[in-house]
Amino acid sequence: QRLLNELNDTTADLLNETEPYIIEGSEGIVINFAECCRPIPKDPIAGVLTINKGIAVHHESCKNLNKWRRRPGRYLPLNWAKQITETFKVELDIEVNNQQGMIANVTAKIAEAKVNIENISVKQTDNYHAIIHLLLSVEDRIHLAKIIRRIRLIKGVTRVIRSK
Q: Give tens-digit pLDDT for 83-138.
A: 888 899 999 999 999 999 999 999 999 999 889 999 999 999 999 999 999 999 99
127, HSE (Cβ side, Cα atoms, 13 Å)? 0
Q: Can you tell me the distance from the alpha carbon of 43 to that of 140, in angstroms, rounded to the nearest whole number?
A: 8
SS3 state of residue 98: coil
